[in-house]
């Protein structure tokens, strides 16, 4: 199947594989140990999936802010996003 029209690059392929992998991982985690709604530092009660969504969305905004406000490489924002995602998942 020719996927040239989708204009794939190694970077974007890696990005989607990472997102897909995380979703599958979250699904398996949910199957093994179903989430319990709770309240952390976020102002709403959240399930694990909610916190994952919030973490991903805010990570996207961190990247956008990084590009818009700094001239440094976007790769520096990646570890910040990973740490942020872990904080939201654990304490959110």
Partner 1 sequence: MEKWDNNNAWFLVLPVFIIVAFSAIIPLMTVVNYSVQDIFGPGERIFVGSEWFKETLANRRLHEALWRQFLFSGLVLLIEMPLGVMIALAMPKRGWGVSFSLVTLALPLLIPWNVIGTIWLIFTRPDIGLFGFIINSMGIAFDHTASPLDAWITLMLMEVWHWTPLVVLLAYAGLRAIPEVYYQAAKIDGASAWATFRYIQLPKMRGVLTIALLLRFMDSFLIYAEPFVLTGGGPGNSTTFLSIYLVKLAVGQFDLGPAAAFSIIYFLIVLALCFVFYQVLQNVGKGERV
Q: Does position 80 bind partner 1 by CB under 8 A?
A: no
Examine residue 74 and tell whether it contacts partner 1 (CB under 8 A).
Answer: yes
Site residues for partner 1, window 10-49 (CB under 8 A)?
11-12, 15-16, 31, 34, 43-45
Candidate segments 21-29, 59-67, 78-86, binder of partner 1 by CB under 8 A = 59-67
CA pair distance 19, 22, nearest whole angstrom: 5
The answer to whether 79 contacts partner 1 (rule: CB under 8 A) is no
> Smallest distance from the beta carbon of 87 to partner 1, in angstroms?
19
First to last CA, the chain: 42
Measured between alpha carbons, how far is 73 from 79 in angstroms, rounded to an integer? 12
Would you state the structure tokens that stand for residue 42, as one six-digit string?
Answer: 């976020």
DSSP H stretches of helix in 1-92: 10-32, 48-69, 77-91
Please, is 46 exposed, middle or buried when counting C-beta atoms within 10 Å of its C-beta (0-12, 13-18, 19+)? buried
In the complex with partner 1, the residue whose CB is nearer, 53 or 84, is 53
Binding site for partner 1 (CB under 8 A): 4-9, 11-12, 15-16, 31, 34, 43-45, 53-54, 57, 60-61, 64, 67-68, 74
């Amino acid at each position: 199947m020719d996927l040239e029209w989708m204009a794939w690059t190694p970077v974007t392929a890696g990005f989607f594989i990472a997102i897909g992998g995380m979703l599958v991982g979250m699904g398996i985690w949910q199957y093994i140990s179903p989430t319990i709604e709770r309240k952390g530092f976020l102002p709403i009660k959240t399930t694990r999936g909610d916190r994952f969504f919030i973490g991903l969305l805010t990570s996207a905004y961190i990247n956008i802010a990084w590009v818009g406000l700094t001239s440094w490489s976007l790769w520096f924002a990646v570890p910040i996003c990973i740490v942020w995602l872990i904080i939201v998942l654990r304490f959110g």
